[in-house]
Structure 1
Amino acid sequence: MSKIQRRVFVMGAATAAVGGQAAALPGKKYLLIDPRVIHRSTGARKALGQVVKEGRNPIFAEDKPWEARFDNLYANVLRDERSGEYRCWYSPFLIDEAVTSTPRAERLKTPYKPRKREMGVCYAVSKDGLRWEKPELGLVEFDGSRRNNIVSRGPHGAGLWRDDLEKDPRRRYKMFFRGKTMAGLFSADGLRWEEPTAFSAIDAPGDTHNNWFWSPEQNAYVGITRLSDRQSRQRLVGRTESRDFVTWTKAEEVLRALPSDGKRQAYAMPVFPHAGLYFGLLMMFDSDTDRVHCELAFSTDTVTWERVCPGVPLIGNGVEGAYDWGCVYAAARPVVLDNGEIRLYYGASNGRHTSWRDGFFCLARLRPDGFAGLEAESAKTVARVVTAPVTVSGKRLTVTADAANGSIRAGIVGDVEKLGIDRCVAVKGDVTGRRVEWKGATLQALGGRQVQIEFELSGAARLYSFGFEG
């Protein structure tokens, strides 16, 4: 839905959930962007969260002989929940003869034309996610030496993650990438990898940030890759699935650019689950400007996708001359800290996509649950949102919202006298898990029952999520 489009929307919560109840989301939390959660809404629109770029960006850069060109970087960042250590696998071009043979002074008058390139996977670690080390692993030879942080040579656009459901410890880490065909690698520690297994049945070009995740709803691994429509000269997002991470289905299109996008195309889309939804960090390549930014999409089933505010970046480009003026490529899997803060790592470059550019690894932040929410269509109007039936699973209702320049009230549908909106104490300020209170009444008597909640959003208030506690 466009940020400026005015409409009343009724979402199919009753048809999308058993018995008309909203999907049972983990952690007693419901995202307002989830269409299964909303029964009806008037005067409301979807709105992207506001990222804050790290002031110390860029976090690291191309500073090793085997980091000829970060290009799109295609980073994958994992934070170990027990140790707190951050691990990053990223994919530079280890070899790019155009870069290494063209002095910087000559690049102003010589167009970039790639030749003899080889991509690989490198590894970095951090204790705090801000200061990173590229350890000498001694695993893979480059230019006659193993004193480097390379873990694999050859994979293109590798999506890599730890599979905590895997029973075979030798296959704990899984890499999904393009080789001669689509293929995979397995590892016990994420550093030492077995020989590749071909996934030729996927039948995809795969020249993108390929990525994978486990979908409990599908009871399958889902892979996201790239397809192409040669007739319309469009890059497409493709989807494939597998029960065992070995036998995959033929990839099928799940998302492409809209007619209104003009010369923008869907270049890459790392996907990850969050609070009962699947989010896609959608990189849109503009062939007119030769630049890339990151948008947001979501899905309830990994098959049908909706973009949030098409054309509006979640992670936008910086000003001309900045480290991320040219291209932004979000890493797979944001890191969600214990306090709910969302860390969005991304590859960035200061030049255009098909030109000379310096590459960097960067960080942007979002507030808890802050990918997207609902707000009034105008600060001068009021939005009303009625949820699908949800089970009161705690003694108190909580909300996460930005309401410094507005307010939010809530009421239980059908209980006007005790828990109606008019008896609610307005929530103001930017809040996370703030308790909603009513004058002289509580939710305690409704414990275990299904209710519908009506929210009133005034001013510039934006509601991201609600839940129950206690």
Structure 2
Amino acid sequence: MNKLLVFVFYLCSVVYVFAQSEQKYSAVNPALFLYTTDDVYIKPLTKYNNGSNIIRPNPASYPWETYLENGMPNIIRDPSGNLSIYISSWVAYSATPPSKMGVMVYTNNTNDVNAWQRPDAGLYWYNPAGKTGDDKISSVYASGYQATNIVAVDVESFGIYDDYQIRNKPIKLIYLPQRESKNKMLAGYEMNKTFTANGVLQDFATMKNDRVTNQKKYTFKFINGDTHMNYFKHNGKYYFVSRLNGKRSALKQGETLPLRPDARKRYRRETVTEIGSQLVSKNVDFTIALDMSTLRWEPYSMQPVRLPDFEKDIWWGLVTMFGTEGDVEVQHKQRTELAISNDGINWKYLKPGIPFLDNGTDPQSDDYGCINIGKPVLNTRFSTNPLDTYYFYAASNIRHVKGRNPGISLAVGKYGKMAGLKAENTPKNFYSMEAATYPISVDDMPKFSMYNAFREGSSFFPYILADVTDDPRGKSLTELNSYAAVLMYSFVASGDHGKGVFLGGTLGSSVKGTHTISDNYEAVGFITQGKDGNSKYFLLEYLRDYSQLHPQEIVSIKDFPEFPVVLQAMTKNAVLYGIKFNKGKGSDEASLDLTAPSNYEGGNLWSYIPATPSSPYSTQDFGHLVRLPNQKMPVDKTMGSIAVKLTPVSGTSQQAVLRLYGTDNDDIGIYYNSSGAFQYEMRKDGIPFANMTIAPPTGKSFANKEVILTFEAVKNTDRKYAKSQKEESAVFRVSCPVINYEKVVQQDILWNWKHAAETITPADSANARGFAYLELSSFVADMNKITVGAKNSSSAEPFRGSISHVEIAPKLPAGTSDFWNSANLQAILSSGSSNRKEIE
């Protein structure tokens, strides 16, 4: 069995541009299994030569390598296994702008991972007598000029996407056009995957002459922080990821505008932008993908990844994290964490704060200070093991500050083993999402195809990729100290976790006959009722029972409809990384289909209706709850709305209506103050970041009157109130019909943060918009609790009035009501588990 598995995998991984005969799913795909953050194990990469640079900058010999500060590797493998690495950075730095930005290439066509060349690209030359950046890098040769490996100029933050599933121009470039962007534009370019004799993508020669006229222009309302972009393609549409920078809108006491200097802390935010089925010039807009993973780490950039055979699985995000300013231990360091997404739009950190690739621990190591990781590459010449996955990364000893000059280092992982579900000596069970427990419909569940299961060459049962140290052949489960099993059942609403009839099951294994962990997908039949779970016995029994229940039907395997199934994973002293299915001959579909759960969009409304409005106090902890695919908990929403219906009572001190928090210094709260006004406030690091206050009209009061409060951090097209205010920052509203009063205020955008009002520049405006762009609960890291009716679980600053309804939703509903009808919504309800159907 092991030899067969290795042979099948080898064929599929080498010839990965052709139709795949396997479908693989990651165990941490929430469309497959539901789990908590505590269940996740991140498998760290193994550094080659302790992180030492395999390509080291040499400014003495190659002066354009003097300032490689922002280099991030993009790796391309040609059909012969040769590699080329493209990085963008300054190629001619000038203290007086503009510096010359560009892209350079390193190539390797050997079996030696250290044997990298700087090929003469024949496109640009270095002029040692040049005074400016433009003078130093010449597009034409002259006597005395030095040949370079520079392939493009006047572009920065350069990313390459290899769309290996298409033939015509599969190489997609994205970059910031240095001289044309003007805080509004990014650009793209398409190439064929052909190479010059010295291993350079051939179409860079064409790009040299026609980039400005033939590039695709992606025009935003504004951009203010784009860096290290890259594409990904989901369901036939191209997207790209980039970055935005945020800064506080609330001024400290004594601060005046313009801010000279601007001492506000910058917070980095990762964004995602849809383009469409083709790369075309168009107006585009971004959505926030990720904010800080913890209070210490911000997203600097992200590389979305799907390896071959995983085309219908999750997207992995290799997120370069930036140590936040003010935290002396980590500030300006960079390392890598993992994020995932089912739909490409909704992203989440897999295990916040835990690195996939960490900085070196030796202060002298080449990667002690700063890491920028590139996408992995398979089937290199450097290894005879096709399971080895190579991650090249820019690495510098110095942190991400001016003066660093990174080289390229290497880390190695195993195919499919990035992260998994871990159990130690206490066994764990994981289940797929099902309609008996969670607020979903049967249509949202995983589906099973009898027709695909019985196709020639298919496997209806899963092969398992796991770190287990026991071979289960000939043993019962109780005899195993280490195991990972995946079982499959039909769905029955009355069953435990929705489990109905057993359909089949598999055990993972160590290398056969040993206690050595296997890096292959293994399949040992799970024996139950004396039958092998890898045989089709149980499927045939299911069909027989179905036929007996439907005697008027002719049961045809070919025409048998897909039906919902429940999957169960059982683990002990093991890490389950994923499963795979063999597809049948001539089929592009496996027997298990996760399309429906991968596209699930529910579970994003949190609704709380106190049983006794006059005693509304409640605290809910979201820290250890499972999350459905694409689900955003109220404590980590990138966008959304808040609605509260209440009746305040006057008091001499501040009263907390609602607070989202995890620490004492980082939170979002709505308060009724001693002056009788309502206030929204977001705090980071104990400092007010944004606040909005609405007081009653002169001579009137909100006290003892029903009031509706709403807060919206959504795009203008989704905003219900203040739609005439086109800027996309949050809005806060107070409505009190009894006194015929309604007021909406918008979060401040500090237009004159840098220059006086009469001298504001377009760059000032773009940055001001970015600084205040739609900040909600994900913007405040480490929040896990919501308290209604007080400030915290200790009932500090209690609300003395009554609260009858609270909702946190993706947006406010249309119409006269500001509250959704939860009977018509798949909601997170406040009593009990966040997803369980306990109240409607």
TM-score normalised by length of structure 2: 0.46
Q: Which residue of 1 aligns with 2:160?
A: 160
Matched, 1:228 2:245: yes
- Aligned match of 2:219 in 201, 204, 229? 201
Matched, 1:347 2:394: yes
Matched, 1:178 2:176: yes
Which range is displaced more, 246-255 or 40-49? 40-49
Count of aligned residue pairs for this structure pair: 418
Matched, 1:292 2:334: yes
Identify if the C-alpha distance between structure 1 residues 163 and 367 changes in structure 2 by more than 3 Å, giving closer, same or farther.
closer
Identify if the C-alpha distance between structure 1 residues 438 and 241 changes in structure 2 by more than 3 Å, giving closer, same or farther.
closer
For 1:417 and 1:251, locate their aligned partners in 2 and report how far apart those are by CA, in whole Å. 47
Which range is displaced more, 188-197 or 45-54? 188-197
TM-score normalised by length of structure 1: 0.79
- Aligned match of 2:108 in 102, 107, 126? 126
Equivalent position amino acid for 2:315 in 1: Y
Conserved? CA contact 2:461–2:505, under 8 Å = no
Tell me the CA shift for residue 118 of structure 1: 2.6
CA displacement, residues 18-38 of structure 1 (integer Å, 9 cap, x when unaligned) = xxxxxxx98222211111112
Matched, 1:359 2:435: no
- Aligned match of 2:535 in 436, 444, 460? 444
Q: Which residue of 2 aligns with 1:303?
A: 345
Tell me the CA shift for residue 359 of structure 1: 1.0
Matched, 1:85 2:82: yes
Tell me the CA shift for residue 62 of structure 1: 0.8
Q: Which residue of 1 aligns with 2:523?
A: 435
For 1:164 and 1:245, locate their aligned partners in 2 and report how far apart those are by CA, in whole Å. 16
SS at 1:444's partner residue? Answer: coil
For 1:123 and 1:42, locate their aligned partners in 2 and report how far apart those are by CA, in whole Å. 42
Unaligned 5+ segments in structure 2 are 1-19, 128-141, 193-201, 250-265, 380-384, 433-445, 470-480, 490-498, 541-556, 584-840
For 2:516 and 2:482, locate their aligned partners in 1 and report how far apart those are by CA, in whole Å. 8
For 2:517 and 2:448, locate their aligned partners in 1 and report how far apart those are by CA, in whole Å. 25
- Aligned match of 1:137 in 121, 125, 128? 121
Spell out the pairing of 1:251-266 with structure 2 (5 A cutoff): 251-258=285-292, 261-266=294-299
Spell out the pairing of 1:313-328 with structure 2 (5 A cutoff): 313-319=355-361, 320-328=363-371
SS at 1:135's partner residue? Answer: coil
CA displacement, residues 223-244 of structure 1 (integer Å, 9 cap, x when unaligned) = 1111222337322112222233
Q: Which residue of 2 aligns with 1:270?
A: 303
Matched, 1:47 2:41: yes
CA displacement, residues 128-175 of structure 1 (integer Å, 9 cap, x when unaligned) = 4723222112111322536111101111111123445667x5x55332
SS at 2:147's partner residue? Answer: coil
Tell me the CA shift for residue 341 of structure 1: 2.5
Identify if the C-alpha distance between structure 1 residues 162 and 465 changes in structure 2 by more than 3 Å, giving closer, same or farther.
closer
Q: Which residue of 2 aligns with 1:401?
A: 466
Matched, 1:242 2:255: no
- Aligned match of 2:29 in 25, 29, 34? 34
Q: Which residue of 1 aligns with 2:69?
A: 71
For 2:395 and 2:522, locate their aligned partners in 1 and report how far apart those are by CA, in whole Å. 35
Equivalent position amino acid for 1:35 in 2: P
Tell me the CA shift for residue 178 of structure 1: 0.8
Q: Which residue of 1 aligns with 2:151?
A: 151
SS at 1:373's partner residue? Answer: strand
Conserved? CA contact 1:227–1:253, under 8 Å = no
For 2:37 and 2:211, locate their aligned partners in 1 and report how far apart those are by CA, in whole Å. 56
Q: Which has the higher strand share?
A: 1
Matched, 1:386 2:431: yes
Tell me the CA shift for residue 291 of structure 1: 0.8
What is the identity percentage for the equivalent residue pairs of Structure 1 and Structure 2? 23
Tell me the CA shift for residue 435 of structure 1: 1.6
Conserved? CA contact 2:373–2:391, under 8 Å = yes
CA displacement, residues 352-379 of structure 1 (integer Å, 9 cap, x when unaligned) = 1114323111111111211211112xx2
Which range is displaced more, 338-347 or 313-322? 338-347
Q: Which residue of 2 aligns with 1:312?
A: 354
Matched, 1:335 2:377: yes
Q: Which residue of 2 aligns with 1:466?
A: 579
For 1:389 and 1:156, locate their aligned partners in 2 and report how far apart those are by CA, in whole Å. 44
SS at 1:132's partner residue? Answer: coil
Conserved? CA contact 1:42–1:383, under 8 Å = no
SS at 2:346's partner residue? Answer: coil
SS at 1:351's partner residue? Answer: coil
Conserved? CA contact 2:74–2:85, under 8 Å = yes
Tell me the CA shift for residue 125 of structure 1: 1.7
Q: Which residue of 1 aligns with 2:134?
A: none
Which range is displaced more, 382-391 or 67-76? 382-391
Identify if the C-alpha distance between structure 1 residues 45 and 146 changes in structure 2 by more than 3 Å, giving closer, same or farther.
same
For 1:345 and 1:251, locate their aligned partners in 2 and report how far apart those are by CA, in whole Å. 31
Q: Which residue of 1 aligns with 2:255?
A: none
Conserved? CA contact 1:396–1:436, under 8 Å = no
Which range is displaced more, 243-252 or 319-328? 243-252
Tell me the CA shift for residue 220 of structure 1: 2.0
Conserved? CA contact 1:173–1:190, under 8 Å = no
Tell me the CA shift for residue 246 of structure 1: 2.3
SS at 1:66's partner residue? Answer: helix
Q: Which residue of 2 aligns with 1:454?
A: 568
Larger-gyration structure (1/2)? 2
Conserved? CA contact 2:488–2:502, under 8 Å = no
Unaligned 5+ segments in structure 1 are 1-24, 99-113
Identify if the C-alpha distance between structure 1 residues 374 and 389 changes in structure 2 by more than 3 Å, giving closer, same or farther.
farther
Identify if the C-alpha distance between structure 1 residues 469 and 238 changes in structure 2 by more than 3 Å, giving closer, same or farther.
closer
Tell me the CA shift for residue 444 of structure 1: 2.8
**Greater length-normalized contact order (CA 8 Å, ≥ 6 residues apart):** 1
Tell me the CA shift for residue 45 of structure 1: 0.8
For 1:362 and 1:206, locate their aligned partners in 2 and report how far apart those are by CA, in whole Å. 26
Equivalent position amino acid for 1:298 in 2: I
Identify if the C-alpha distance between structure 1 residues 95 and 468 changes in structure 2 by more than 3 Å, giving closer, same or farther.
same
SS at 2:211's partner residue? Answer: coil
SS at 1:270's partner residue? Answer: strand
